[in-house]
């Protein structure tokens, strides 16, 4: 297998190299690069119970992930575990310039982006984050509020406290509001729930992903293993199983590869060191064909499942 050249490095257009020998980095529209596999600190790592004390399990799981090559860590103030991530970063001993740290602001009432990021940086023990996201648009009551908050995000990028800035859970209408104000620094990432049963293409080929690629906004998928874990059984199961057998991998690895082969960053998690090692070892060893990527997409459109923000959408809303 030949190495992927720098000329074929994946970017926000969704194009990926034909051959990959490692987990690639995706080039963002601002020139920075993001590792295409991220270790997520939400869901299973969401901090429950005593929010004041440190949760050693979260720390240990994160250290394990870092030591197994997961240098892209995805956290948020809403997860309640930024302090644990900060301790894990210190304990793991990996140089800061090798890490890619993402956190998110909830845009709480009466709070500013500057204050929220200051708190997050203090908990993380960092001078800057590599990517700072607005966690959702649902706090805003008008396009003007979305625009005002985005201007605050731009100020943090200008100050060097966030090297890249983006959004999460934004639909086209929210992004159009941001772009209507002619931002100096457009969002470079939209992190969304993405898997075969939620492809955000209610018209079968247009929709959110097409818009994001038109605007040069990279797609980050959270919950990419939903069809394997939370929404099984379903119509993609036989396809996953057949391809897993063909490539000598697991159905979960096929699910992650399906994202990568669309130029989509995949954020996932596990407390199993063996599983983390397998993902990092096996994912570079195979690549789905374009026909296989489309087959999974087509079978996925036969079912609709949304695991998050269900109170914001009608049951049949596929946006």
Binding-site residue ranges for substrate: 135
User: Residues marked as binding?
Assistant: 135
Beta strands in 41-99 (DSSP E): 72-74
Catalytic site residue from 39, 79, 132, 305: 79
Helix, strand, coil percent content, the chain, rounded in steps of 5: 40, 15, 45
Q: 70: Cβ–Cβ under 8 A, 6 or more apart, which residues?
A: 37, 38, 39, 276, 280
C-alpha span between 319 and 253 (Å, rounded): 26
- What does the DSSP assignment read for 217-259? PEEEEESTTTTTTTS-SSTTHHHHHHHHHHHTS-HHHHHHHHH
Closest CA to 215 of 256, 179, 254: 179
User: What end-to-end distance do the CA atoms of the chain give, in Å?
Assistant: 38
The span from the CA of 230 to the CA of 250, in Å, is 16
Q: At what angle do helices 56-67 and 82-92 cross, to 10 degrees?
A: 50
How would DSSP label each residue in 15-26? ---S--SSPPEE
CA 233, distance to chain mean position in Å, is 24
Give residue 18's Cα distance to chain centre.
22
Residue (of 236, 224, 227) closest to 283 by Cα position: 224
71 in active site: no
| Inter-residue contact 261 to 293 (CB < 8 Å) | yes
Structural contact between residues 118 and 112, judged by C-beta atoms closer than 8 angstroms: no
How far out from the chain centre does Cα 319 lie?
A: 18
Q: Which residues are catalytic?
A: 79
């Amino acid at each position: 297998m030949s190495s992927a050249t720098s000329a074929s490095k994946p970017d926000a257009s969704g194009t990926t190299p034909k051959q990959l020998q490692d987990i690639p980095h995706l080039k963002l529209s601002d020139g920075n690069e993001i590792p295409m596999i991220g270790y997520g600190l939400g869901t299973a790592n969401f901090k429950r119970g005593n929010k004041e004390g440190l949760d050693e399990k979260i720390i240990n799981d994160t250290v394990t992930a870092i030591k197994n090559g997961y240098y892209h860590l995805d956290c948020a103030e809403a997860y309640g575990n930024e302090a644990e991530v900060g301790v894990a970063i210190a304990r793991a001993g990996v140089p800061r310039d090798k890490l890619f740290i993402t956190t998110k602001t909830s845009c709480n009432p009466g709070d500013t982006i500057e204050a929220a990021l200051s708190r997050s940086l203090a908990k993380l023990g960092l001078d800057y984050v590599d990517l700072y996201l607005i966690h959702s648009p649902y706090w805003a009551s008008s396009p003007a509020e979305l625009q005002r908050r985005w201007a605050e995000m731009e100020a943090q990028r200008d100050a060097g406290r966030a090297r890249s800035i983006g959004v999460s859970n934004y639909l086209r209408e929210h992004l159009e509001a941001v772009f209507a104000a002619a931002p100096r620094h457009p969002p470079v990432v939209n992190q969304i729930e993405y898997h075969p049963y939620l492809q955000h293409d209610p018209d079968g080929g247009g929709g959110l992903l097409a818009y994001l690629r038109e605007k040069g906004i990279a797609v980050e998928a959270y919950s990419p293993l939903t069809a394997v874990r939370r929404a099984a059984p379903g119509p993609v199961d036989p396809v996953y199983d057949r391809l897993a057998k063909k490539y000598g991998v697991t159905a979960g690895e096929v699910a992650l590869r399906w994202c990568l082969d669309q130029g989509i960053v995949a954020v996932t998690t596990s407390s199993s060191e063996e599983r983390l090692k397998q993902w990092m070892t096996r994912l570079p060893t195979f690549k789905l064909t374009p026909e296989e990527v489309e087959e999974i997409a087509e079978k996925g459109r036969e079912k609709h499942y949304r695991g998050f923000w269900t109170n914001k959408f009608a049951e049949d809303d596929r946006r």
